[in-house]
Amino acid sequence: MKKYRSLIFIVSFIALLLTQYKLVMPFVYKVIASDLFLVSSNDQASQIAISTPLTNIAFHFCNDYIKTEIGPDNTVIFPDKELNAWSFGNYQFLISADIKITSSDGITTSKKYACRITYNNGDDQSGINDFANWSIIGVSGLKEN
The residue type of 76 is: V
Q: What is the pLDDT of residue 24?
A: 94
**pLDDT per position as a tens digit, 7-34:** 999 999 999 999 999 999 999 999 888 8
User: For the residues 83-112, what does the mean pLDDT come to?
Assistant: 90
* Amino acid identity at 24: V
Helix (H, G, I), strand (E, B) or coil at 10: helix
Q: What is the CATH number of the domain that holds 69?
A: 3.10.450
- What's the CA gap between 92 and 95, in Å, rounded? 10
Query: Which helix (H) or strand (E) segment is 63 a member of?
Result: helix 53-70
- Domain span at 69: 53-140
pLDDT reading at 145 higher than 50: no
Same domain for 131 and 81:
yes
| pLDDT value of residue 39 | 67
- Per the CB < 8 A criterion, the answer to whether 86 and 49 are in contact is yes
pLDDT in tens, 128-137: 899 899 999 9
**Stronger pLDDT, 118 or 1, i.e. the higher one:** 118
pTM of the model: 0.70
Count the Cβ atoms, other than its own, within 10 Å of residue 99.
19
Cβ pair 41, 123 in contact under 8 A:
yes
Residue 67, pLDDT above cutoff 50: yes
Number of domains within the chain: 2
Dihedral over alpha carbons 70, 76, 127, 49 (to 10 degrees): -100
Residue type, 19: T
pLDDT class of 124 with cuts at 50, 70, 90? confident
Judge if 22 and 83 occupy the same domain. no
Residue 21 inside a domain? The answer is yes
Same domain, 28 and 58: no
